[in-house]
Structure 1
Amino acid sequence: MTAPRKGARRRDSEVTRLLPRPLLAVLLTVLLVFVLVPVVYVLSASLNSDAAVARGDFLPTEFTTTNYAKIWTTVALGSGLVNSVLVAGSVALVCAFLSVSTAYVLVRFAFRGKLTILRLLLALQSIPGTLLLLPVFVLFSSASTYVGIQVVGTRWGLFITYLTFALPFSTWVMVTYLRGLPRELEEAARIDGASSWRILTRIVVPLSWPGIVVSGIFAFLLGWNDVLFASIMTTPDSRTAAVALQVFGATSEGGALPVYGQMMAASLVCAVPVVVLYLVFQRYLVGGLTAGGVK
């Protein structure tokens, strides 16, 4: 069998291309402009003085890094970042490994009510979080009265809140991923005498790293970006970085000169962990998000 010629491969790629090359180049350029222009403005404003940013200068006349030094005392960003990392990181780790074990049971075992559980997990995703804000707060605040356990204002109370919302979605991601794994590997291990727990830890988990990373990152982003629940479930000591930014923005607007430069610097500092997370786990994200799409 002769290999296809270079011209034939090029024609095939042109036929399968969704858009013509010039139109694709224009579309990508427009998308890059929409994405990069706000990022460049935030970066330039963080290196500019507050007066220059208030005047509307897009590029700084003189670069200064004082904004990055002031935010640690003005915003108290350090404690907020620590709380966000602790809460969102613990939610990501627990949610990732709970979802893979739950999805393994739902995919590989047959029992009464399995389809109902899957439908309930899907139905939970359609409920807006704003509708559950008041019930969750009332439930957790009443725990100190009836049970004697203080939940509101603690990190672990915020952890339970985020885990409640992140676990159904992460379980659905892992259910989709585990359905694409071959059953033959597990059957061969079971013939050799491996238990279900050993199959899960030695076969399923190592093969499911892309899906685990995707579910963990989405759970991390839920805890990192949330302002609604964190604003009512935390105190100044347990306040997350997102709430610290919101409070800083609200208080600075009342001043004679809003500290826009510090606000931009604080926003960039809070965005760095998420960018690093995506860069580190990029190859796992591509495999996990496309899993189950092609059978």
Structure 2
Amino acid sequence: MPKSPLMKTLFWIAVVVMAIWMLFPFYWMVNSALKTEAQLQMTPATFVPRDPTTLGVSVSLQNFAAVFRNAKFRQGIWNSIIVAGTTTVIALVVGSFAAFALGKLHFRGKTPSTYLILAMTMFPQISVLSGLYALMNWLNISAIPFMILSYMIFTLPFTVWVQTSFFKGLPTSLLQAAYVDGASPFQTFYLILLPLTAPALVTTGLLAFIAAWNEYLFALTFTSVQPAARTVTVAIALFTGEISRQEPFGEIMAAGVVVTIPLILLVLIFQRQIMAGLTAGAVKG
């Protein structure tokens, strides 16, 4: 039954409103990052950077320059790359093996294991934070390795759960044909099934990377006594202005733009794989 013009109009109005609602915070962050201190103090606030005297459009990159001059910010980006990248690789490697076992192999305790992994995603992170911090001090582990291990708490269950559904959707005939040809379970997993799960690997890997890149609470706690190990989110939160008693709002917004753009580019580059991974198994032919 065709939709009426009124329904189509209401639909597109809703789409536009939702798009503005989601994109406006990022737009305002970019707008604020391109303003000077004087422009940020203008009232009412302007939707584009304007000169306080002439009210003409005037864009400034001084906030971005100040951000990249900040050694703590540069170190925070490097620390975040190490932590998020290593967390993602470990989650994909371990998660792929676990998902293959849960999705295609038969063993005792398979169903309880699956639900246990799902249950791990339901625990709030704050509930284990104090215990992990005490464990880090007791074991005397550096902050960066311990952050990588602790981030596995919320990246690995998600990775295993999503990839398990994907492995279940692969034809069992592939597994049987590989066994007939003399392939071992590992060869079947590595050479035949794993390449077919590329959309799921990209989807879970990217989401795990974003989760580790944006994580703040664990990073703030674990680096409280090791400032050199602070990730970029903590470095931005602890920004201090170049002038005494200054609230560096423009620099904070510029830093937010810098750390957000790589994530947007990754999503745009891998958007087809992400959609294929998220919709895998949704329709049965």
TM-score by length of structure 1 reads: 0.87
Q: Is the 8 A contact 1:103 1:174 kept in 2?
A: yes
Shift of 1:232: 1.4
- Structure 2 equivalent of residue 34 of structure 1: 21
Q: 1:237 aligns with which of 228, 232, 252?
A: 228
CA deviations on 1:184-216 (whole Å, 9 max, x unpaired) are 112111111111111111111110011111111
Which residue does the alignment assign to 1:134? 130
Deviation at 1:255, TM superposition (A): 5.3
Q: Percent identity?
A: 31
Aligned equivalents of 2:169, 2:65: Cα separation in 1: 49
Of 20, 26, 32, the match for 1:45: 32
Residues 126-275 of structure 1 correspond to what in structure 2 (within 5 A)?
126-144=122-140, 151-153=141-143, 155-234=144-223, 235-248=226-239, 251-252=240-241, 256-275=245-264
- Structure 1, unaligned runs of 5 or more: 1-10, 145-150
Aligned to 2:113: 117
Q: CA contact under 8 A between 1:42 and 1:264: conserved in structure 2? A: yes
Alpha carbons of structure 1 residues 75 and 276: separation in structure 2 relative to 1, 3 Å: same
How many residues of Structure 1 are paired with residues of Structure 2 in the alignment? 271
Secondary structure (helix, strand or coil) at the match of 1:237 reads helix
Give the letter aligned to residue 91 of structure 2.
C
Once residues 30 and 18 of structure 2 are traced to their aligned partners in structure 1, the CA distance between those partners, rounded to angstroms, is: 19
Q: Which amino acid aligns with 1:136?
A: L
CA distance in 2, matches of 1:222, 1:273: 14
Contact 1:213–1:284 (8 Å) recurs in 2: yes
Which stretch of structure 1 is more off in the superposition, 34-43 or 20-29?
Answer: 34-43
Q: RMSD of aligned C-alpha atoms?
A: 1.8
Q: Is the 8 A contact 1:50 1:257 kept in 2?
A: no
Structure 2 residue ranges without an equivalent (≥5): 51-57
Matched residues in 1 for 2:103 and 2:245: separation?
A: 60
Deviation at 1:111, TM superposition (A): 1.4
State the Cα distance separating 1:75 from its structure 2 match.
6.5
Q: CA deviation at 1:279?
A: 1.2
Q: Given that residues 54 and 260 in structure 1 are in contact (C-alpha distance below 8 angstroms), is that contact kept between their aligned partners in structure 2?
A: no
Paired letter, 2:68: W
Q: SS state of the match for residue 292, structure 1?
A: coil
TM-score (norm 2): 0.90
Shift of 1:165: 2.1
Whole-angstrom distance in 1 between the partners of 2:25 and 2:153: 33
SS at match of 2:258: helix
Q: Which contiguous aligned blocks of 4+ residues in structure 1 show a shift greater than 3 angstroms?
A: 254-257
